[in-house]
Structures are given as C-alpha cells and as structure tokens.
Amino acid sequence: MTRPPAQLPTRAQILAFVEDSPTPVGRREIARAFDIKGPMRAELRGLLKEMADAGDLDMGRKRKVAPVGALPEVAVVEVTGVDEDGEVLARAVGREAEEPPARIHLLADRRSGPMGRGDRALCRLERRGDTFYVARVIRRIGRATPRTLGVFEKTSDGGRVRSTDKKAKSEIRIPKGDEKDAKTGDLVTVEIMPKGRLGLPVGRVVERFAGVADPKSFSRIAIHEQEIPDQFPDAAVAQAEKAKAVGLGKRTDLRNVPLVTIDGIDARDFDDAVFAEPDDDPGNPGGFRLLVAIADVAHYVRPGDALDREALKRGNSVYFPDQVVPMLPEALSNGLCSLRPDEDRACLAVEIVIDAAGNKRRHRFMRGLMRSQARLTYRQVQEAHDGGTRAGIPDGVLEPLYGAFEALRKARAARGALDIDLPEKRVILDGAGTITEIGIRERLDAHMLIEEFMVLANVCAAETLEDRRQPCMYRVHETPDPEKVAALAEVLDGLGIPFAKDQVVRPKTFNAVLAKVKGEPHERMVNELVLRSQSQAVYAPENLGHFGLALTRYAHFTSPIRRYSDLLVHRALIRGLKLGDDGLRPDDDADFQEWGEHISMTERRAATAERTTLDRYLARHLADRVGGIFPGRINGVTKFGVFVTLDETGADGLVPIRSLPDDYYDHDDVHHTLTGRSHGWVFRLGDRVEVRLVDSDPASGGIVVEIVSGGTQGPAPRGGRRHGGPKRRPQARGRRHKPGGRRK
C-alpha cells in the first residue's frame, strides 16, 4: 500500500505540538514529528519564521521555538521560599515583571546542596503547565545582592545610611561616588556590597526618594519594606478603563429598594449597601427581612485576565493615613464597582429573613441592578438615631435597620461571640500630610450594625456554597493553642481571677473573664492578654469554623473591591447558583489551597505595613517633644526591656533594660515580669508608669523612653538566675533615679 505524501502541518498543529513539549523544540523535532522530508523542510522553516514574526511562537537559543512567554530551556533562577510540602520555590531572574509569573519547583540536588531564600543557580527548566516549571540545578552561582531602605546622611568620605529597619544593628557606609546625588535626609535604597572583615557594611545607592521629613514618605517606606505592589500593569489599567456599566438584562431589578451605604467619612469605595423592613409574615412576629447588596466585581474581573492576575498578586487593598494601595484600579474601585448614590450599579445580593431573636430563617442570593438612595456616614446615622438631625437620610430607613440590628445583637450574645474591647488608634492628616489629630477611632452602634449585617451575609455565603458542593474560601479562626491558654491562666491567677487551665475553652469562657475586669485598672491589659492567646485567623478551603465569632461556618463575601477572598466566594456562588458564565472555572478548585495561603500572607503583609506606618507617624508627632514626661502603662515585657503604651497618643515606647536600675533582671515570660535580683525591683505587664521620652525616630518608627516613676520594689528574690537576665551596666553620669519616685 502506498503511503500518502506528507503534508505541511497547520499552524494550529504546530502550536499544539510545541505547547505539549516540556522543553523548547527545534525544527528537526517538528519535522520528525510530522514526517517532513526533502524540500518541504524549507517550507517548514519559512512557516516557523512567519509564526515567530507574528508573535505566535518565541524563537530562542539555537533557533528553538516555544510558546509565547515560555521560559527558556536554561535560565538563572532565584529561590523565593518553600511551600507547605517542603518544595523549594524559585523565580526566573530577569522575568519578574511578566504576568502571570512562572511558578518554578527546584528539585533537590545532592551535588549543589540545600538552597535557601536568595540563593541563585543556573538551571535546566522543564515545562509542566502553562506557567509551571520543574528546575534541575546545573550549577550554583551565589546569592542575590541584598538591598535595604534607609535615610542618607552626607559625609566627607561619601555618606552614611541609617536603615529604616528597627532591627538593623549598624549604619551602612557609602563610598564617595556611590551616593547617586543623594542629599542628607533623603530616603534611599542601598545595595549592600560583600562585607569586609572590619568596619561598617558598605553599600551603594541605587534609588532615591523624597526626604524622610516628608510624612508622605512613611507609607512609601512600608510599601518598600513589605514589597507591596503599588503600580498597576498597563494591561490591567486599560482593561479597567474600558469597562462599561451594565444594564438590567436578566438581573433582578432592585433599583426601587431604598438601599443605602454606611461607611466612614473618609471612605472612597463603597462595596456594600443595606436595607431592612419588618417581615409581613404573620408566622414571624417581630422578624425582619434584610437585603445586603454587594458590588458585583466578578462581572468586571474575570478569571485569569490582567485584572484578576494583579488582584491575586495584591490579595487585598492596603490602607495608610495618607493613601490607599488598592487591589483594583481606581476606574473600578472608586468607579463602576463603587455603590455610589443615584447611579445604577451591578450587585450580588442576598435576601435574609430573621426572627425576633435574630435567628436566620431563610435566605436567597440574586444577581441584581441597584441604585443607592444615599451615601451615609456612621456618625451621621448614629446622631440621627439618637434624636439629632436627619438631613440627607431617606425617610423610614433607619428604624428598621436598628430594629434588625437589635435582633442580630441578641443572636450574637446568645451564641457567645468573643467580645474583646481594645481601642484602635487613628491618625488624621491635613492636605500637606501633617498630623492634625491622633486619637482613638470611635466605636458606635452604627459600626456594629453594619458589622452584624455583614457577618450574617457572610454566613449565608458559606452555607450556600456547602449546600451546592462548591469550593469555598473559608475565614478560619481555630481554637486557641492550649499552651497559650495555660500561660494566660497563670497571669490571671496572679491578678486574682480564677481561670482553669485544663477547661474546654469557648468564646463565652473568655467573655466571663473580660466581664470581671470591666472598669478595672487592668481592663485593657486583660483584653490584650486574651487577644494574644487567640489563634490567627486565616483563609483556607477547609472549614475549621470561626472560634471568635462562635460560628461553625464563615466566609468573606462582603468586600470584593478590597479582598480577593471575597471575589473567589462571589465566583463560587455564581457558578453554584448558575448566575452567569463568569464564575469559577472547572480547574480553579485545585488552586484554592494555594490561593488561601497566598492571600493569608498578603493580609499579614498589609497589617504589618499599616502598623509600622502608624508607628512612624506617631514617632514623627513626638519627635519635637523629646525630654517630655508622659503617663502610660506597661504593655509588653521582654528579656531586653519593657514596652510602655503612652496614654495620650497610644504610641508604644521601648524601655531598654540598660535604663532600669542597676541589677541582674530575671525575665519571667509566664507572669510577664522583669525582677531585679539584688534590689527587688519588679516591672510587670499592666503596671502604671511615668516615662521620659528619650528618642523618637520617624524613619524607623522607634520610640525610646525611660521610666521616671512606677514599678514596685519588694524583697530581693533568692536563688540563682532563672532565665539568665542581662545585667544593667553602670552609667558614667552619676547615680540613676529610683523608679518609685520622679527624678529631680
């Protein structure tokens, strides 16, 4: 039988063959696969060149072709960390800006030895998926050059840089010629050179920013330190700006429902609106019908597109006193996805019916089109509810909202949700970025009203996804670690508050303790201790319940503009309830574990950035008051000193152990005390003290204080050093005061 003559493969056939190959392929491999011989090889060469010129293929080393955007067969990679299974993860050096970033697993190699974060190696890559590769080490090539952010100071021999990291032990010397025109006070990024045997570390300035005297630089420092993405790729911005408002179509028309948004006065993105009315069902006396409408971000941000990739990378928005680093570009976050008043907006809404005791009777989700009736603030709503002016508030809106809130508050109390009460610091700036006020963020019933509505909507989302057998990104808060509970019991015992170590703890257990200290001098300290004993909440596809809220299932659904977790829950609901074709893709389910770990990390990253920025603002506010005396309370005890929270501002200052009276100090990490062996001075968590401000460094946010009164002096303890506490070195400047009385 005669074989038919070979034919030139189509472009689609070539692309399929190249994409299926784990490594780039040459013309020879393609010709062999399609049985191309003789003169047809020249035609194949021409076709491959056309495809490369058209952007269908990447032409790499030795004229081998690969899918567009694929990594080369050999590349330099840098270790970025280890996943939960112990696999070493890496990134391709020089390809950091590509979207989506390639995920590389570095295989163990006995010859190269173990590799840690920052180590680099020349590797042979094998593609296992669109953006997933396995790398085998050819040879190690050292580590990435470390960089740090700091404040530059000009010197005769070049300059010095003081790191913004509180933990940095020394300055960095910048040789002449490596300053890059930096001036004293400038924020600079420094590349650290290999360290010599003696002297300061040496570096060179690679980037220069505004001076540290500018308060707006504080958020810039945090963004740099935490490596928070703050510039959107052009493709994501273009996609957001091209988005159009949606029409009614198959959506439920909610435009006649008097939904309102209630947020802080400085809020710019409004992603939730609420409505309530008495339930007209005779079988549900005193009950309410609620409607919680959430911005339909999933309509605009589709799985795998440029906006989605960037949103996943960021994980969440980050909020600073002077700016917001949003998860989505402004065209969406403050535009089409923001539920602004008197504008039609796409939403995903849930209708909920509760009884008079706040128990949910039923709920249903819908995809709708809404029109907010008013943009209200917490203070405005609270004042109106308390009998003040109702200007700007639609008639008949508030009473049902507060009625439903009272019912939900009963349900919260009945299930025993954890009720920790700790003040939240707040910094207010003027247009120039100067601090005009530092205080405590007010906590009104209006805040709690919205919280209870959102908690209920989140529960409905988790229940629906379970019922529909859809993946869910749960908000997980596990039971406290027994060791932390035992340590808390030790401290409470010292305060005369009985707390059994081996009991089964529930939120109500802690609430009973908090109730006992209500109004007592150590109320805040006990609230902080209870908070520290709790596990950290995370995102995960496995339901482990939410201990703090006393709920068996819980997910975040109500803030998709600023949290990627909520966007995933929206997509799961859309797919499970068949509300559109923009829900989860079939292969997304397998990525929930990895996504949960990633967005838990970005949440911690954001919290650290927000906290350190606030510390820097507080340090800047206090920098002109060095030498002043401030009342405060010890809120932390460590082997190297104690931390004092100042009453006036809430700033935390460190009292180094060297500034305490001369003695050997034993650190008791169970009872949170430092005890002097020779003279019996004791400094314990919760003690009231007066301190003198010694130093306040805005660049690092570090505040150093010394105690001028406070602490207790008892008989010197007997026995040897229990915890090896360091000895305070005698000062050369005469005798130090006794903390029991103010220094004259």
Query: pLDDT tens for residues 694-713?
Result: 999 888 899 999 999 988 88
Helix, strand, coil content of the chain in percent (nearest 5): 30, 30, 45
Is the pLDDT confidence value at 101 over 60?
A: yes
User: pLDDT at position 143, please?
Assistant: 67
DSSP labels for 210-237? EETTSTTHHHHHHHHHTT---S--HHHH
| HSE-CB for 124 with a 13 A CA cutoff | 6
User: pLDDT at position 612, please?
Assistant: 92
Stretch (H or E) spanning 653 = strand 652-656
Is the pLDDT confidence value at 523 over 90?
A: no
CA distance 320 to 224: 14
* Closest residue by Cα to residue 514 from 503, 500, 498, 530: 530
Q: Which two tokens stand for residue 110?
A: 């006995």
CA distance 287 to 334: 35
User: pLDDT at position 432, please?
Assistant: 74
CA distance 377 to 744: 49
Between residues 2 and 598, the one the model is more confident about: 598
User: pLDDT at position 129, please?
Assistant: 75
Between residues 734 and 588, the one the model is more confident about: 588
User: pLDDT at position 568, please?
Assistant: 98
Angle at 561 between CA 361 and CA 326, to 5 degrees: 150
CA distance 104 to 71: 10
User: pLDDT at position 496, please?
Assistant: 82
Those residues with Cβ within 8 angstroms of residue 211's Cβ, 6 or more apart along the chain or in another chain: 183, 185, 186, 187, 217
679 and 740 Cβ atoms separated by less than 8 Å: no
Q: Which two tokens stand for residue 134?
A: 């396995």
For residue 102, give the amino acid letter: A
CA distance 677 to 716: 5
Stretch (H or E) spanning 311 = helix 306-314
User: pLDDT at position 110, please?
Assistant: 66
- Highest mean pLDDT among 191-195, 367-371, 442-446, 524-528 belongs to 367-371
Is the pLDDT confidence value at 113 over 80?
A: no
> What is the CB neighbour count within 10 angstroms for residue 183?
13
Give percent above pLDDT 70 in the chain. 89
Is the pLDDT confidence value at 253 over 90?
A: yes
Reduced 3-state DSSP string for 529-569: HHHHCCCCCEEECCCCCECCCCECCCECCCCCCCEHHHHHH
47 and 14 Cβ atoms separated by less than 8 Å: yes
* Closest residue by Cα to residue 466 from 563, 388, 554, 384: 554
Per-residue pLDDT band at 726 (split at 50, 70, 90): very low
Cα torsion angle, 25, 29, 35, 38, sign: positive
CA distance 378 to 266: 11
- Highest mean pLDDT among 55-59, 252-256, 262-266 belongs to 252-256
**Across the strands, what pairs with 25?**
65
CA distance 440 to 442: 6
Between residues 717 and 330, the one the model is more confident about: 330
The span from the first CA to the last CA of the chain, in angstroms, equals 113
Cis upstream peptide for 100 (omega within 30°): yes
Is the pLDDT confidence value at 263 over 90?
A: yes
Is the pLDDT confidence value at 307 over 70?
A: yes
User: pLDDT at position 738, please?
Assistant: 43
Is the pLDDT confidence value at 402 over 90?
A: yes
User: pLDDT at position 694, please?
Assistant: 95
Per-residue pLDDT band at 629 (split at 50, 70, 90): very high
> What's the rounded mean pLDDT across residues 75-100?
76
532 and 542 Cβ atoms separated by less than 8 Å: no
Stretch (H or E) spanning 617 = helix 592-622
229 and 314 Cβ atoms separated by less than 8 Å: yes
CA distance 561 to 340: 13
pLDDT tens digits for 23-53?
677 777 777 777 777 777 777 777 777 777 6
Q: What is the pLDDT of the chain when averaged over all its residues?
A: 86
User: pLDDT at position 718, please?
Assistant: 58
Is the pLDDT confidence value at 593 over 50?
A: yes
- Highest mean pLDDT among 531-535, 559-563, 621-625, 727-731 belongs to 559-563
Per-residue pLDDT band at 251 (split at 50, 70, 90): very high
Is the pLDDT confidence value at 717 over 70?
A: no
- For 189, phi then psi, to 5°, come to -95, 130
Cα-Cα-Cα-Cα torsion 375, 381, 387, 390, nearest 10 degrees, comes to 0
Distances (CA, A) of 14 to 23, 252, 358, 365, 675: 14, 47, 62, 46, 76
Per-residue pLDDT band at 177 (split at 50, 70, 90): confident
pLDDT tens digits for 635-680?
889 888 999 999 888 899 999 999 998 888 999 877 788 999 888 8
CA distance 564 to 587: 18
Tell me if residue 365 falls in helix, strand or coil: strand
Those residues with Cβ within 8 angstroms of residue 514's Cβ, 6 or more apart along the chain or in another chain: 419, 420, 421, 526, 527, 530
Tell me if residue 193 falls in helix, strand or coil: coil
Please tell me the least confidently modeled range out of 55-64, 113-122, 338-347, 735-744: 735-744
User: pLDDT at position 720, please?
Assistant: 44
288 and 352 Cβ atoms separated by less than 8 Å: no
User: pLDDT at position 116, please?
Assistant: 73
Cα torsion angle, 189, 193, 195, 199, sign: negative
Is the pLDDT confidence value at 546 over 90?
A: yes
Is the pLDDT confidence value at 97 over 60?
A: no
Q: Edge-to-edge, what's the strand order for the sheet holding 252-253? A: 252-253, 360-371, 344-354, 288-295, 272-278, 260-263, 374-377
> What's the rounded mean pLDDT across residues 239-249?
94
Region of residue 416 (left: phi > 0; alpha: psi -120 to 50; beta: else): left
| Spacing of C-alpha 519 from chain mean position | 33
CA distance 289 to 363: 9
User: pLDDT at position 512, please?
Assistant: 92
Is the pLDDT confidence value at 204 over 70?
A: yes
Is the pLDDT confidence value at 363 over 70?
A: yes
Q: Dmax over Cα atoms in the chain, in whole Å?
A: 113
Q: Where are the beta strands (DSSP E) in 355-430?
A: 360-371, 374-377, 425-429
Please tell me the least confidently modeled range out of 54-63, 130-139, 426-435: 54-63
CA distance 493 to 205: 54
What's the whole-model pTM score?
A: 0.76
Tell me if residue 76 falls in helix, strand or coil: strand
Q: Where are the beta strands (DSSP E) in 279-392?
A: 288-295, 318-319, 324-325, 344-354, 360-371, 374-377
CA distance 402 to 458: 19
User: pLDDT at position 383, please?
Assistant: 95
Is the pLDDT confidence value at 145 over 70?
A: no
Is the pLDDT confidence value at 5 over 70?
A: no
